Amino acid sequence: MKVLIVGKGGREHAIAWKVKESDLVKEVFIVPGNVGMENLGTLVDISEEEIEELADFAEENNIDLTIIGPESVLALGVTNEFEKRGLKIFAPTKEAAKIESSKEFAKELMKKYGVPTGAYETFTNLDLAVKYVKEKGAPIVIKEDGLKAGKGVTVAFSIPEAVEALEIAFSIPNNKVVIEEYLDGFEFSIIALTNGETVIPLEIAQDHKRAYENDKGPNTGGMGVYSPVDKIDSNIVDETLEKILKPMAKGMKKDGIPFKGFLFGGIMLTKDGVKTIEFNARFGDPEAEGILPRLKSDFVKAILDLMEGKDVELEWDNRYTVAVVMASENYPKSLTIGSEIEIPKDLKSMVFHMGTKRNYEKIETNGGRVLSVVAYGDTLEKAKENAYTDVNKIKCKKLFFRNDIGSKMCYNNENK
């Protein structure tokens, strides 16, 4: 069969790598892809957000299955266009993808269907928002509504910090802000495959959102991840499924917007049980790079079986993975373009490209997050050691990385 993957980052690189392994797949096409994916399939020069052109390509090339990576493409209605033409696609509709493209929409759904989350209020006025923050006190969470590529969130530990975040948010015309209760606890990511009814959880991972070590600095799209997460046992996974993921899927179907695709929950394990920080409508990045290398089952077969209503059982590698993101020097404030990257050929780690380009024979930076270096280990410590050994072999003057990916379990609020 022929599979089309849409996207150009580390998530799509990991998905393409896993799809390529499938015995069912003969050809892989990636739109637009990046230099790291050249050996996995045919890169197609179409903008990922040109959804009619994507559908045209799928029709003309008899694509059997399309997998979408970026949330921006989902928000444009790519699934609606594909399904209108009878094309098979594993991704939510524009309406269902609002659980990510509108934080207010997601919060309202959670409230409606009793999905545990923090208390919140939505504001379109700066003065009213500041008044609310001063009444509630800190710590408090400021979230800009809409798609922010994993950013646009401030966990404010003081009133001045919260007010500053609000002033920045409302400097954008017609912006809307959701102000949430701060949830204290242990954060983890859970991603499930779902056809709108059946929910199949993948292995748990923990992302490191802050730019700098010890969880300091601004929020980013993710600076690294590890899997599995020993603190999150099967009982907590079951609780998350029964209280959060399944009720959300059931509620969305009841509302006439069934969710098909990768249902991502950012979850906080609190003293009162699991609570939802956020929902995303796609596979996480860098979670994809940490989780998919541990999947031993045929990824494409699992998706097809689920879409056809068949039973799906997944087999996992028991080893740990640690994925370390190498980012542009001023990320998330700015990105770097055109800085040469030297990647040795003898690395034992997998290197997924997040923001790179080819300049003749050279590989250069072309984004905020640039590479995701992923290593296995029989223990978490060994996986960390293996990952950082190879990270330190990659040469680029304009890249930085955190040295503590996999150590987040040791942090407390004083480190933030």
pLDDT of res. 414: 34
Map tokens 């400021």 to a residue: 142
Q: 142-151 as b/e, with b when 16 or more CB fall inside 10 Å?
A: bbbbebeebe
Region of 247 please: left (phi>0), alpha (psi -120 to 50) or beta. Answer: alpha
Count of helices and strands (H, E) across the chain: 13, 24
SS3 196: coil
CB 115 within 8 A of CB 276: yes
CB 215 within 8 A of CB 411: yes
Phi, psi of 372 (to 5 degrees): -125, 115
Query: In DSSP terms, which residues pair with 154 in a beta bridge?
Result: 142
Report how far residue 320's alpha carbon sits from residue 382's, in angstroms, rounded to the nearest whole number.
Answer: 8
% of the chain with per-residue pLDDT over 90: 91
pLDDT of res. 174: 86
| Radius of gyration from C-alpha coordinates of the chain | 20
Tens-place pLDDT, residues 330-387: 999 999 999 999 999 999 999 999 999 999 999 999 999 999 999 999 999 999 999 9
Q: Does 412 have pLDDT greater than 60?
A: no
CATH 3.40.50.300 fits 119-181, yes or no: no
- Tell which CATH classification among 3.40.640.10, 3.40.1110.10, 3.40.50.20, 3.40.50.300 matches the domain 2-91: 3.40.50.20
SS3 112: helix
What value does the mean pLDDT take over residues 25-30?
Answer: 98
Dump strand ranges (E) for 8-159. Answer: 27-32, 42-43, 65-68, 89-90, 120-123, 140-144, 153-156
Q: Does 265 have pLDDT greater than 80?
A: yes
| Angstrom distances, CA of residue 245 to CA of 120, 316, 384 | 20, 21, 30
Tell me whether residue 123 is exposed, middle or buried, using C-beta atoms within 10 angstroms of its C-beta: 0 to 12, 13 to 18, 19 or more.
Answer: buried
Cβ count near 295 (within 10 Å): 17
Region of 224 please: left (phi>0), alpha (psi -120 to 50) or beta. Answer: left
Q: Does 410 have pLDDT greater than 50?
A: no
- CATH class given for the domain over 320-410: alpha beta
3-state secondary structure 93-107: CCCCCHHHHCHHHHH
**Average pLDDT over the chain, rounded to whole?**
94
What value does the mean pLDDT take over residues 218-224?
Answer: 92
pLDDT of res. 148: 57
For the chain, give every domain's residue range: 2-91, 119-181, 186-307, 320-410
pLDDT of res. 413: 37
Tens-place pLDDT, residues 286-298: 999 999 999 999 9
Report how far residue 208's alpha carbon sits from residue 286's, in angstroms, rounded to the nearest whole number.
Answer: 9
Element (H, E) at 270: strand 261-270
Tens-place pLDDT, residues 227-254: 999 999 999 999 999 999 999 999 999 9
Report how far residue 165's alpha carbon sits from residue 153's, in angstroms, rounded to the nearest whole number.
Answer: 9
Tens-place pLDDT, residues 298-335: 999 999 999 999 999 999 999 999 999 999 999 999 99
Map tokens 């060994």 to a residue: 382
Report how far residue 4's alpha carbon sits from residue 9's, in angstroms, rounded to the nearest whole number.
Answer: 15
Report how far residue 180's alpha carbon sits from residue 6's, in angstroms, rounded to the nearest whole number.
Answer: 33
- Tell which CATH classification among 3.30.70.1290, 1.10.1060.10, 3.30.470.20, 3.10.450.350 matches the domain 186-307: 3.30.470.20
How confident is residue 151, by pLDDT bands cut at 50, 70 and 90?
low
Helical ranges in 273-343 per DSSP H: 287-291, 299-307
Query: pTM score, two decimals?
Result: 0.93
